[in-house]
Amino acid sequence: MVLAPIGLAVPPTAAHGLLPGLMLLWREHLPHVQVRLFEGSDEEIGQWLDGGIVDAAVLIDPDPVPQGAVRVATDTFQAVVRRDHPLAGQGSIDLSDLLDDPLLSSTAGCEPQVKRLHSLAGLRYRPAQRIRELMTLLSMVEAGLGVAVVPSLAADMLPDDLTLVPLLPRLERHLVLTGPAARPWHPHVTAIRDVCRRPASADCVSPKGVAR
């Protein structure tokens, strides 16, 4: 029986850095399953999944982790700077090293983790600008208007004149694939989840520079 496409909600960095590999994996192992992508903020994704607009979602650091969910990636938060910035090319830097530059912060989903990173470093979180769209934030860094802290999955989104620099303290985030908590899972959601659980899948979907 051919079923209608399942809706999958994902945050922007996962859509760029993770989903192409997952889509290829699912197409290889589940050619009969069609997945329709919905890109949104963390808040929107949770609402879409709870409200039945989508059948599955990639959630970031859910607490608690939903029953039946599977981790599909782990990445870290890094500084994004221009390639001509004095900190570019460093093996790692302290978060405090960014204090000389205006901090540009994305409100699309990563802000709680960036706040936590500042807390771990004993620093006040004082963004110069709070920007919803990640691509707008990157354009502002590219223009020399400041620096930002982004997940390493954003690497594929960077223009050529921007680069990522690992940050200390190190802070990871975990991305998990799940179905809804309050209703039965669509059988195709269970199927794509099970493919992600296979040991050989890690090499297929791990983006460059993302730890698993």
Name the token pair of 153.
Answer: 């999955």
Determine whether 174 is exposed, middle or buried from the number of CB atoms within 10 Å of its CB (0-12, 13-18, 19+): middle
The SS3 call for residue 83 is: coil
State the residue for tokens 């110069």.
128
Predicted local distance difference test score (pLDDT) of residue 47: 95
Rounded mean pLDDT of 168-197?
A: 96
Reference 152, options 13, 41, 19; nearest CA is 13
Reference 57, options 110, 113, 14; nearest CA is 14
Least confident of 74-83, 98-107, 155-164, 195-204: 195-204
Which CATH superfamily includes the segment(s) 75-172?
A: Periplasmic binding protein-like II (3.40.190.10)
The CA distance from 197 to 150, in Å, is 27
Predicted local distance difference test score (pLDDT) of residue 15: 86
12 — pLDDT class (breaks 50, 70, 90): confident
State the residue for tokens 């983790």.
113
212 — pLDDT class (breaks 50, 70, 90): very low
Q: How many CB atoms lie within 10 A of CB 122?
A: 9
Q: Is the pLDDT of residue 158 over 60?
A: yes
% the chain with pLDDT above 90: 80
Rounded mean pLDDT of 157-168?
A: 96
107 — pLDDT class (breaks 50, 70, 90): confident
pTM to 2 decimal places: 0.85
Predicted local distance difference test score (pLDDT) of residue 203: 40
Predicted local distance difference test score (pLDDT) of residue 161: 97
Predicted local distance difference test score (pLDDT) of residue 199: 65
CA atoms within 13 A on the CB side of 105: 18
Reference 111, options 81, 140, 131, 82; nearest CA is 131
Q: Which amino acid is at 92?
A: S
Name the token pair of 54.
Answer: 């989508």
Residues of the chain with CATH 3.40.190.10: 6-72+173-205, 75-172
Contacting residues for 158 by C-beta, under 8 A, at least 6 apart: 80, 138, 164
Predicted local distance difference test score (pLDDT) of residue 2: 56
3 — pLDDT class (breaks 50, 70, 90): low
Q: Is the pLDDT of residue 202 over 70?
A: no
Predicted local distance difference test score (pLDDT) of residue 42: 86
Reference 212, options 167, 165, 176, 179; nearest CA is 176
Q: Which of 26-35, 108-117, 199-208 has the highest average model confidence (pLDDT)? A: 26-35
Q: Return the CA Rg of the chain.
A: 18
% the chain with pLDDT above 70: 92
* Mean per-residue pLDDT of the chain: 91
The CATH number of 6-72+173-205, from 3.90.70.10, 3.40.190.10, 1.10.357.10, 3.50.50.60, is: 3.40.190.10
Name the token pair of 47.
Answer: 């609402």
